[in-house]
A and B are shown apart, each in its own frame.
Chain A
Amino acid sequence: MDAIYGLFPNLDTARRALSALRTGSPELRIRQESIIVISSEPLEGEGLCWNEQRSFMPWLAVVGGLIGGTAGYALAAFTQRTYPLPTGGMPIVALWPTGIVIYELGMLGAILTTIVTFLITARLPRYRNRIYDPEVSYGKILVGVTGADRDLGAKVKQRLQEQGAEQIKEIMGHQE
C-alpha cells in the first residue's frame, strides 16, 4: 500500500501533525481512517488513544465467564449423572464441589475470551500490509497517511514538514 509519513521526535509535535492532517483532510482528500499513528509506547491525547467502543471487551469477558461457568456445571452434572458412582455418602451431584468446578471453568472462560477478543480486535497476528518504520523503536512517533492521492502527496508532505517532522518518507507499492 502507498503511504506518506513523517517521523516526529516527541508527543507535542506528533499531536500537532495529527490535528493538522485531520483539519486539512477535506482539502487533501484523505479519509479519517487512513491517518495512521504508530508509537513504541501508548500515547495520550485526543485522537492518539482509541476512544471508540471503549468498554465492550470487559463485557465479552463476562459473557465468556458465564459460558465457562455453565460449561463447568454441565461437565460436572452430566458426567456424574451418566456414570453415577456414589462416594462417601455424598449426593451424586454435590453442591459445594460443583460450585468449585463452576468457578474455575468460569474464570477459564473469561481468560480465553479475553485472549481471543484481544487478538481479533487488535487484528493480530498480521504480517502483511503493515506500515512500519524501525525508527519507531528508537522513540520516534510515526504520523502519516495511507493511500494518499499522488498529486496531493506534496501537500501532505508539506503539512508534515511544517509541524516539525524530522524525516518524511514515502512508500510505494506493496510493503511487507
Chain B
Amino acid sequence: MEPNSVPQNSVVDQEAERIREDLLRPLFQTTWRFYTGVSVLVAIGLAGMAAFIYQTYAGMGVAGISRPVFWAFYITNFVFWIGISHAGTLISAILRLVNATWRRPVTRCAEAITVFALIIGGQFPIIHLGRPWLFFWLIPYPNERHIWPNFRSPLLWDFLAITTYITGSVTFLLLPIIPDWATVRDRATGCRKRIYRVLALGWQGTPREWHRLETAMHIMTIVIIPVAVSVHTIVSWDFAMALVPGWHSTVFGPYFVVGAIFSGIAALIVAMALLRKFLHLEEYLKPIHFENLGKLLLLFSLLWVYFVFAERLTVWYGNETSEMAAFWSIQRGKFAFLFWTMVSCNFIIPFPILAIKQLRTITGTVIASCTVVIGMWLERFLIVVPPLEQKYLPYDWGSYRPTWVEITIMIGTAAGMILFYVLFVKVVPIISMWELKGGEHTETVPAEAPVVVGGRGSGLENTLPSTNS
C-alpha cells in the first residue's frame, strides 16, 4: 500500500522528508523475506507450544528435572529473558536521563526488546509449574478460596515486580510512539489509515500535548530505573532466599542486575545490527552507536568479571564443605567445560574486541555481543543447576539432563521473541522520527545543508532546521 505522496504546492525540507520516508518504508513495503521469516518463526513457536501442551498433558516428568534438581532449563530461561529486558531500561532511561543525545535512534529498538523479553520471560514461571492451569492463584484478588497468596514468598515478589515493570515498560514504549503513529496515520490509506487513526488517539501536536508527553516521559524515566533494578534483584532472590549452598549469597542482587544489563546491551547490539542490515538503516544506526554501546558492553563485562571473582573468591576462601562441592564441580568437575566457555564468551573473547579501538567496529561488537548472549545464558544455567545437584547431604546428590521437551520449548520461546519483534517493526517505525533531530544523523555536514541548531540541554532539543538567511 503506497503512502500518501508529498502534496503539491509546498516546499518540503528534502532532508527531513527523506528521513521520514526511510523510517516509514518498512511499514509500507513488505518483501518475500518478511513472509518467509514470519512463517518459519510461527512454525517454531507452534512447535514450542505443542511441546508445552504435551508436558501439561503427560506430566512434568517428560522434562529432565528430577530430585534434587527441581529447577533447570525453564528457570534458566526465565532469568535469562528477564535479564535481556534490561536493555531498554539502560539505553532508554539512563541515557535519556543523562541527556546522551546519541541514544536517540536506538531508544525504541531497546524499549521494544524490553517489552517483548518481559512477555517471553514471563511465560516461564507458568511453563515450569506442576499445575500450570492454576497459575492465577498467584494473583492477589478477593476470591472464594478463602486464601490469599503468600507475600513472604520471593515468587510473589517476582509476580509484583514483573507486573510493575511490564506496565512501566509498555508505557515507556507506547507513549512516544503516539506522535509517530499520527504521522503514519497521515501517510496511510484505506483501512490501515482507520487503524492508525484509532491508535494515534487523535494526536495533533499542540504544545500542550508535547509538553505533557515529555513530562510524562521524564517521570517514567525516573521511575523505571529503580523498578528495573528491583526486578532483577527480586528475581535473584528466588535463589538467594533458599538455603542451598551456592545460592544463599548476599551478592546475588547486584550481581544479577549487572549481568542483566550486560546481556541486555549485547542483545540490543545484535538486534540493531540485524535491523540495520534488513531495513537498510545504515544512515541511522551508525558505527558510532555500535562503538558507544561497545564501550558500555566492555564496562559491564569488567563489572561482571568483578562480581564473579568476588563471589568465587569468597566461597573458595571460606572453604565450607557444602559450598565447595558445587564450587569444584563448576570449576574443575562436570561443569568445567561450560564454566570456562562462559568465561571465554563473557570476557576473554569480548574484552580485546571491545577494548581495542580498531576492533570495536560494527562487526566486532556484534561478534562480541553474540558470545556475550551465549555466555550469559550459560551463566544462568551454572547458577541454577550445579548447586542443586550437590546440596548438603551427599546421598541426595543427583544430576540433570534436558529432554527434547525443554529444548523445544526453549527454542520455541526464542522464536516467539524474534517473531514479536519482527511484527513490531512492521507496525511501528523502529526509529523514533520525532526524537531524531533533523540533521543530526549525518556526521559530516555538507556546506549547503541547512544549519542545525541543537544541544540546548533542556530536553526539548528538537528543532526544525532553520533556513540559512
Contact = CB atoms under 8 A, between A and B. Distances in A.
B363 interface: no
Contacts of A83: 146-148
A50 B213 CA distance: 11
Nearest to A101: B151
A90 B151 CA distance: 12
B63 to A, nearest CB: 28
A100 B233 CA distance: 11
A172 B254 CA distance: 62
Interface string A80-110: 1011010110100010011011011101101
A37 to B, nearest CB: 6
Interface size class of B (residues with CB under 8 A): 35 or more
A105 B230 CA distance: 12
Interface in A45-69: 47-50, 54, 57-58, 61, 65
B274 interface: no
A98 B157 CA distance: 10
Given A41-B462, A50-B208, A137-B183, A114 B220 contact: yes
Contacts of A115: 171, 216
B10 A50 contact: no
A139 B433 CA distance: 11
Nearest to A49: B207
B164 A166 contact: no
Given A80-B148, A140-B10, A40 B463 contact: no
B434 A40 contact: yes
A40 B179 contact: yes
Contact of A10 (B164, B175, B197, B465): B465
A124 B203 contact: yes
A107 B151 contact: no
A75 interface: yes
A79 B464 contact: no
B211 interface: yes
Given A57-B216, A83-B148, A90-B152, A166 B10 contact: yes
B17 interface: yes
B10 A104 contact: no
Interface string A109-124: 0111011011001111
B185 to A, nearest CB: 8
Contacts of B164: 104-105, 107-108, 111
Contacts of A26: none
Given A108-B163, A117-B216, A122-B212, A7 B434 contact: no
Contacts of B456: 44
A37 B206 CA distance: 6
Contacts, number: 200
Nearest to A141: B464
B171 A104 contact: no
A17 to B, nearest CB: 14
Contact of A50 (B9, B178, B207): B207
A90 B220 CA distance: 36
B140 interface: yes
B33 to A, nearest CB: 28
Contact of A11 (B4, B146, B186, B466): B466
A39 B212 contact: no
B6 interface: yes
Nearest to A72: B160
B457 to A, nearest CB: 12
B151 A42 contact: no
Interface string B209-253: 111111110111001001100100010000000000000000000
Contacts of A36: 206
A173 interface: no
A94 B207 contact: no
B13 interface: yes
Contact of B205 (A38, A94, A126): A38
A28 interface: no
Interface string A5-22: 001011110000000000
B219 A97 contact: no
Contacts of A49: 207, 210-211, 460
Given A11-B464, A83-B148, A114 B216 contact: yes
Contacts of A47: 207
Contact of A125 (B11, B17, B183, B202): B202
B152 A43 contact: no
A102 to B, nearest CB: 10
Across the A-B interface, the 4 shortest Cβ-Cβ residue pairs: A125-B201, A79-B148, A122-B212, A42-B210
Interface of B: 4, 6-7, 9-13, 16-17, 20, 140, 146-148, 150-152, 156-157, 160-161, 163-164, 167-168, 171, 175, 178-179, 182-183, 186-187, 197-198, 201-216, 218-220, 223, 226-227, 230, 234, 434, 456, 458, 460, 462-467
Interface of A: 7, 9-12, 36-44, 47-50, 54, 57-58, 61, 65, 75-76, 79-80, 82-83, 85, 87-88, 90, 94, 97-98, 100-101, 103-105, 107-108, 110-112, 114-115, 117-118, 121-128, 130-132, 134-141, 166-167
Given A54-B211, A122-B213, A134-B7, 18 more contacts: A7-B10, A39-B464, A41-B463, A44-B460, A49-B211, A58-B215, A65-B223, A80-B151, A82-B148, A83-B147, A97-B152, A107-B227, A108-B160, A108-B163, A124-B202, A134-B186, A137-B20, A138-B17
11 contacts: A38-B206, A44-B460, A83-B146, A83-B148, A88-B152, A105-B160, A108-B160, A118-B216, A130-B204, A134-B4, A137-B186
